[in-house]
Each structure stands twice: as structure tokens, then as C-alpha cells.
A and B are shown apart, each in its own frame.
Chain A
Amino acid sequence: MSSVLEPCFDRVFTSQRLFRLLLDAMARPGKIVPLPALDLDPPQGLTCFMAGLAFTLLDRETSFAVLPGCEPWSRYLLLNSGSRAAAVSEAEFIIVDGQADLPSLLDVRRGDLLFPDRGATLMIMLSGIGAEYGDIGLALQGPGVFGVRTVHLSGLCPANLERVIDLNREFPLGVDLILSDSRGALVCIPRSSTIIREVCR
């Protein structure tokens, strides 16, 4: 098994840099933001990029959920961030592979009308983000988008997309998506975006 502790991750400057990229991506839904390469050694299935984003956001005040079968991720994230693993219905961050069909997504927190910010953040790993990937084309509209912005994704189970659209049907309740692929492309889709499925090849 890989070395589990990541003493080399610079929690001050790398976190800051990753956060600015996240903020840019969240403020401009559908914009593809390239992440810098990270020298991390996460367990099988978790990408360096997602691990870096998780270290940027998670700490002992937060909770996260991974799917059954991904327990090594939990251990790795707990050791390196101090964040607790929790049930999907409780966690603030849900870290998953988009390919797997995830019926439990419907249980995640959407916040309430008094505190919609308590809705969860879904951190989803995809196989590809960008024009050359054609499985799913999403046309996005809303704050942060000038007109319409289209983003192409692959490696997202269509049923999961339907679940996300369903979770976000009642703005301001909903979840916010942080998507990244294995090459370090980052895209965010906040709940304020209207998602229109455009192409399905």
C-alpha cells in the first residue's frame, strides 16, 4: 500500500493556489480551469487532483462521505486532513467517482430555506472534461455565465446527472458540483446554474 501521509503537500501556498482556481471555476460555471500537477500518492481510484482539492477544503470541522468499497480513501483523507467520514446524508462533502451509478446521491443534504448553504458539495471524478470528450454535453445558464456556456464531460453516469438536476430543482436548495478529470481539468457547477442536457452521443 502507498505511503499514506502526505507531508509534502504545502498547506499554505498550494492550498491558496488551488482555492483561487476553485473560486474562479465556481464563479464561472462550466469554465475549464487547469489544475497544477501535484506530487501526491493517493490510494487507488482517488486522483492527485481530487486529493489536493480535498486537502484545500477539508479539515477537522468538516465531514465527508465516500462510497462503500472506497474505505482506503477515507483513511487517507482522515489522516491528511483530519476530516471525519460520515454517512452520505450527513456529510458536507461527497467524494465519488462519477462513473458508478449512485442512487444514494438522492440522500445528500440540500440545505433548508433558512440555511441553504448547508447543502452538500459533490466532488466528482470524471474520466474527461473538455471539447474532445463527447459523452455528455451540458449547456449551462445562470449567474457567472455570459449567455450560455457548454461543457463536455465523459465518465459521468447519466443517472447521476439526473439525480443532480433533481437535487437542484428548488433553488436555493441544492448541491454544488466540483468536477475534475484525471488530467487535472476542473469544472464547477453551482446550484445557481440551470443545466440543459444538450448532446448525448
Chain B
Amino acid sequence: MSATVNSAATPARQPRGYNFAFLDENTKREIRRKLLKAVAIPGYQVPFASPELPIARGWGTGGLQITMAIIGPEDVLKVIDQGCDGSVNAVNIRNLLVKTTGVDTTFDTTAASIVQTRHRVPEEPMRADQILVLQVPIPEPLRYVEASEAKTREMHGEMDYSRMWVYLYENIVQYGEISIGARYPSLVNRRYLMDPSPIPRWDVPKLSMSPTLHLFGAGREKRIYAVPPHTLVEPLEFEDFRFRVEEFSGRSCLRCGATDTYMNELFDRVSGQKLYACSDSGYCDKRRAAQERRAD
């Protein structure tokens, strides 16, 4: 056992006008209690208080509150928005967290202990000592088929997902394809249907049987849920109509040349061509740096 820790020998004590990680301790404790229940019941949406924050609801406050409740002075934080470390949502959330905690930040997925993300799972595989926090706009996968929260809660309780199956079936009949791209409904631990947040289909298989703990926070909708490590996450599919991820065959990233990543489509107005670039900017930069080192 290490030395006694509870006498104020802990770092990061300089006055900053806020409690460490902005939230007051009562709010953090509530989120922590709910996180433990979310982990104990994988995929089940636990209601939580979700108080006001200096960032508007719907801009990642669910993920932000989870990060604030779990983060400590020794953590190394990475924040991404659509895979990018530099886009506005990521920058604002990172700045707020750094200002109120003083933690170190990184763009390198492998160097982070907490990764907060909007709409992507990093390309590089994550480890058991890392936590992925996902921002969720709409936590209820059954909202496609049922508007009432009381009803969807009942449907989850009874594991009655028949209307979702019918919805997918009707999609196939009408369009020859399931029209849900991001937010693909997935069954967790063979029990709860979950909205994996608006990650592309590409990222859904990464949640399944991963060594990493995934925490999902929906601030506006006041829900927390989790996918623990080594937990089965199965996208809904039919025996004769399988789940497919996005197709990028024959395309490569214009920056790093990758052919095995999730890519954004760009349009070159001058040449009229469609171009592709990695969505995970940290990983793309890393590959480019490695290529430059080899070229030297």
C-alpha cells in the first residue's frame, strides 16, 4: 500500500476560482454513483441531474460532465470532434477542462488516459488503462419508432425491440438498404438496445469486446450509459441482410495515403474532383510524421 494520501499532499491546488474540474463535489458524486450503475447494467440509460454548464446543452455537456467527474490531476486528456483535435467543439471543451483542472493534453490517442470524443472512436486501438467518453445527442435508439419516453422505457424493460426490427425491415423493402448511417442501433450484452452515439457504422464494431471502458453522456437528455470492456455490442442485422460498414475501397487519404481508415469526402471546386482525407486527424498526422522521418 502506498503512503497516506488523504492529507492535502495532492497536487494542483493553486486557486483558480472554481472547484477542481469545475463541477461541485455533490454533482460529481451523483454522476459517479450513476456511472457505477451504468457500468453494472451495460447499455441501460441511467437518468442523472445534468446541471447547467458554461457550454450550452447539446454541445457535449453529457460527455463533459462525465469527464469532469472522473478526471484527476494526473490524467492526460485528448478531446476530439469528428476525429479532429482542432475543431471548435473539441477546442472549447479542452480549454474549459484545462482551465479548471490544469491537466496535460495530447493529440496522440496512445498517450491519453481519457479521450473525450464527439462522433468518432479513434482509429488506433485503445487499451485497458484508457477510458473513452462519448458525447451523445440522442441516447434513445427507439426514438426512431416511438416518441414517448415512458413507452420506450417500458420497451427496454420488456426487451421489446420488435418495432425497431420492423423499422429496419421496412427500410430494406423501401430503399434496398438500412438508411441509418451513424447512430446505428446495437444490442449490448444481448440485453439492451443502445444508441452508440452518432459514430459512423465503421466505429461500431470497435466497441465490441474492446479492452477499454466506454462511457456515454447525454447532457440535454440527462442520461448516462456505458459499455464495459469485453462486452458484446452487436449491430442489429438480419440473417439475409448483414450489417455493413462504410465502403472506402479504391480510395486513399490525400494527406497520409491511408487506405484503411474512415475518411471524410472533400470536394475540390477547381478540379471538380472528390477527394478523401482521414477523419482521425491525430492518427493522420502521426502517419505523415512517420513518413517524413523515413524520407529523411
Interface residues of A (CB under 8 A from B): 8-17, 19-20, 22-24, 26-28, 34-40, 52, 56-59, 61-62, 92, 112-117, 119, 121, 142-146, 171-172, 176, 183-184, 190-192
Whether A192 and B36, one on each chain, are in contact in the complex, defined by CB atoms closer than 8 angstroms, is: no
Question: A17-B72, A37-B4 in contact; A23/B20 too (CB < 8 A)?
Answer: no
B171 interfacial contact with A, CB 8 Å:
no
B39 interfacial contact with A, CB 8 Å:
yes
Question: A11-B25, A59-B26, A114-B153 in contact; A28/B229 too (CB < 8 A)?
Answer: yes
Whether A37 and B2, one on each chain, are in contact in the complex, defined by CB atoms closer than 8 angstroms, is: yes
Determine the chain B residues whose CB is within 8 A of the CB of A142 once the complex forms: 189
Q: Name the residue of chain A whose CB is nearest to the CB of B74.
A: A17
Bound complex: CA of A39 vs CA of B116, how far in Å? Answer: 34
Bound complex: CA of A191 vs CA of B42, how far in Å? Answer: 10
B287 interfacial contact with A, CB 8 Å:
no
B70 interfacial contact with A, CB 8 Å:
yes
For the complex of A and B, the 3 pairs showing the least CB-CB separation, nearest first, are: A190-B40, A113-B157, A13-B10
Interface residues of B (CB under 8 A from A): 1-8, 10, 12, 19-20, 25-26, 28-30, 32-42, 44, 46-47, 69-73, 128, 153-154, 157-158, 189, 191-192, 211, 213, 226, 228-232
Whether A14 and B5, one on each chain, are in contact in the complex, defined by CB atoms closer than 8 angstroms, is: yes
Whether B4 and A38, one on each chain, are in contact in the complex, defined by CB atoms closer than 8 angstroms, is: yes
Whether B157 and A10, one on each chain, are in contact in the complex, defined by CB atoms closer than 8 angstroms, is: no
Question: A37-B5, A114-B154 in contact; A57/B25 too (CB < 8 A)?
Answer: no
Determine the chain A residues whose CB is within 8 A of the CB of B8 once the complex forms: 10, 13
Determine the chain A residues whose CB is within 8 A of the CB of B6 once the complex forms: 8-10, 14, 38-40, 52
Whether A16 and B72, one on each chain, are in contact in the complex, defined by CB atoms closer than 8 angstroms, is: yes
Question: A28-B229, A192-B42 in contact; A39/B7 too (CB < 8 A)?
Answer: yes
Whether A176 and B29, one on each chain, are in contact in the complex, defined by CB atoms closer than 8 angstroms, is: no
Tell me if A's interface is mostly helix, strand, loop or mixed: loop
Whether B37 and A57, one on each chain, are in contact in the complex, defined by CB atoms closer than 8 angstroms, is: no
**Listed A/B pairs (6) with beta-carbon separation below 8 Å:** A10-B5, A10-B10, A13-B73, A35-B1, A143-B228, A190-B41
Q: Name the residue of chain A whose CB is nearest to the CB of B214.
A: A27
Whether A184 and B1, one on each chain, are in contact in the complex, defined by CB atoms closer than 8 angstroms, is: yes
Bound complex: CA of A20 vs CA of B38, how far in Å? Answer: 14
Whether A23 and B35, one on each chain, are in contact in the complex, defined by CB atoms closer than 8 angstroms, is: yes
Whether A113 and B70, one on each chain, are in contact in the complex, defined by CB atoms closer than 8 angstroms, is: no
Bound complex: CA of A14 vs CA of B128, how far in Å? Answer: 22
Whether B25 and A27, one on each chain, are in contact in the complex, defined by CB atoms closer than 8 angstroms, is: no
Whether B40 and A192, one on each chain, are in contact in the complex, defined by CB atoms closer than 8 angstroms, is: yes
Which of B4, B30, B71: most chain A CB closer than 10 A?
Answer: B4
Bound complex: CA of A76 vs CA of B230, how far in Å? Answer: 39
Whether B1 and A19, one on each chain, are in contact in the complex, defined by CB atoms closer than 8 angstroms, is: no
Q: Name the residue of chain B whose CB is nearest to the CB of A121.
A: B36
> B70 → chain A, closest Cβ, in Å?
6
